[in-house]
Structure formats: structure tokens, C-alpha cells
């Protein structure tokens, strides 16, 4: 069974932004899929177990963006 969480990320303006956020979130332990919608800032993460908000916030921050 997978855990699915949806977050909103601010500051993304292009495909490179999407790639950076996707890469950082994909490196979190247990993450199996990341989908980013540039136009809305919505990020859906599928993982083996639920992710902590702190872990997601840190990964998004590492990519240079902000979890809102």
C-alpha cells in the first residue's frame, strides 16, 4: 500500500524548477513517484510510508523553493 500526499510549492516558474523539485523529492527515502504541475504549484508524492512535512519542506527548500 502506498501513501499519497499533495503539497503546494511556490516560486517555480519553468521546467528546470519542476526538475529540481522532482529530483530532490525523489531522493527522500521510500518515495516511488513525484508529479509536479508547474501552473498550479501542486506536487503529488507517492511513497511507501507517509512522509513528514519537515522532510518534504527540507527537500523543497534544498531545491530552492518554498512549501506553502
Q: Domain segments of the chain: what residues?
A: 3-67
Fold of 3-67: Alpha-Beta Plaits (3.30.70)
Average pLDDT, the chain: 97
Structure confidence at residue 29 as a pLDDT band (50, 70, 90):
very high
- Asked if residue 37 has pLDDT above 90, the reply is yes
Q: What is the pLDDT of residue 16?
A: 97
- Asked if residue 36 has pLDDT above 80, the reply is yes
Tell me the three-class secondary structure of the chain, residue by residue.
Answer: CCEEEEEEEECCCCHHHHHHHHHHHHCCCCEEEEEEECCCCEEEEEECCCCCHHHHHHHHHHCCCEEC
Amino acid at each position: 500500500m502506498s501513501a499519497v500526499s499533495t503539497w503546494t510549492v511556490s516560486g517555480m516558474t519553468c521546467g528546470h524548477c519542476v526538475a529540481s523539485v522532482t529530483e530532490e523529492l525523489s531522493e527522500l527515502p521510500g518515495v516511488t513517484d513525484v508529479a509536479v504541475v508547474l501552473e498550479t504549484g501542486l506536487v503529488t508524492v507517492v511513497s511507501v510510508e507517509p512522509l513528514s512535512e519537515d522532510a518534504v519542506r527540507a527537500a523543497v527548500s534544498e531545491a530552492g523553493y518554498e512549501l506553502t
